[in-house]
Amino acid sequence: MLNWIIETSLKYRWMVIASTFVLIASGIIALNHLDIDAFPDTTPVQVQINTVAPALGPEEIEQQITFPIEQKLGGLPRISQLRSISKFGLSQVVVIFEDGTDIYFARQIINERLGTVQLPPGLEKPKMGPVSTGLGEVFHYIVTGKGDDITQLRTIHDWVIRPQMRTLKGVAEVNSWGGFEKQFQVRVDPQRLAKFGLTFDQVSLSIRENNQNVGGGVIDQGSSMLLVQGLGRTTSLQQISNIQLAVNDGIPILLKDIADVTIGHEVRRGAVTADGMGEVVLGLGFMTMGENSHEVTWGMKNQLEKIKERLPGNVRVETVYDRTELVDFVIDTVRSNLFEGGLLVIAVLFMFLGNLRAAFIVAIAIPLSMLFAFSGMLHFGVAASLLSLGAIDFGMVVDSSVV
């Protein structure tokens, strides 16, 4: 068999040379399109379902939320494991699927089942987590400002920076940590409420129904058509304070008569500080599962530079963690190791074979084998990482060439 291969290769040498150049070209193309990461992501295909219930303890969370969700998700195709965590204010169910399951197919069948889950009234609907993994956290940045209230910085991040960062290809989610979430707060006085004979449900219903715009159809006027629209959405404290709750003896009872309307912030359970200079707002960028972390991180860096130009002069945005730094370091390490290892192999071959031509023939198998391997890695979806590139065994390649 070996003799036949040698004879055929010598007989059709130009075809062998042409095929080699084709494989070299395909290897170079594959290298340019290969996903590059520091470490391989071994996370299984999984979907997280989170349900927030701030007023419930772990036992109530388990009985009223986690268990009903688990019952509905049981029996889904290709499920490998079903895990859950029930703690104060939060239910988290993790559905792990078999390897090779399409993540979007998994999310689709879970979403269909979640629509049939019956939870107690007043609770938020279960929400699926982003299409990301534990290694998808690729970019961190902080928002600071001189003289700015930390609530204002959080508002700028949530309504200006974060929406623009989420539009990038390959970005699964951008989370906000730190600061205070701005709220319009209505603090009802129970004594004044009882004085006017009202209930909390009436107040809540009135605020909800008097805080929306509605359409009233159209009016034909000759050759013209007039649009009728009722503007009722509130935009200021004064408008909220003047919402009418009821009428008593012809006198309207307004919201400000039974409550104090102020601008406040949501209760938080932590803070973010940086360099000992006080509180800041932290943005966490998550990469979509299966994307190229190098490209996604560079895209987020470039987008952040564009956003900086449109922010107020006293607001600063700084990058504090960047996956590309780690990826570039790993690539440089692998590149230097491969280069030095290749030179050592060539030197040793020349010393033992005693023939420069024979050593060159054996040594040229090293880069060719790597280029062929890149084509296979791209075809099978294997990312170029410290483990995959480091697994290329020069010894086996050289042994085969010598034989």
**CA end-to-end distance (rounded Å), the chain:** 14
| Residue 27 · residue 371 · CB < 8 Å | yes
Structure tokens at 2: 């070996």
Domains located in the chain, CATH noted: 2-39+327-402 (1.20.1640.10), 46-128 (3.30.70.1430), 183-265 (3.30.2090.10)
Average pLDDT, integer, range 102-122: 91
257-313 per-position pLDDT tens digit = 999 999 888 888 788 998 887 899 999 999 998 888 888 999 999 999 999 999 988
Average pLDDT, integer, range 370-391: 76
Closest C-alpha among 384, 193, 395 to residue 295: 384
Q: What is the 3-state secondary structure (H, E, C) of 73-142?
A: HCCCCCEEEEEEEEECCEEEEEEEECCCCCHHHHHHHHHHHHCCCCCCCCCCCCEECCCCCCCCEEEEEE
Report which of residues 169 and 55 the model is more confident about.
169
| Residue 288 · residue 132 · CB < 8 Å | yes
Query: What count of Cα atoms within 13 Å lies in the side-chain half-sphere of residue 338?
Result: 18
Per-residue model confidence (pLDDT) at position 187: 92
Cα 291 from Cα 272, distance rounded (Å): 29
Q: Phi and psi at residue 373, in whole multiples of 5°?
A: -65, -35
Q: Nearest 10 degrees: CA dihedral of 343, 345, 348, 353?
A: -120
List own/partner pairs for 384-387 with CB under 8 A and 24 or more apart.
384/31, 384/34, 384/35, 384/36, 384/37, 384/331, 385/36, 385/37, 385/38, 385/39, 385/40, 385/330, 386/38, 386/39, 386/330, 386/333, 386/334, 387/39, 387/40
Amino acid at 119: L
Nearest-5° Cα angle at 63, 57 to 69:
115
Q: What is the pTM of this model?
A: 0.76
For the cut 60, the answer to whether the pLDDT of residue 403 exceeds it is no
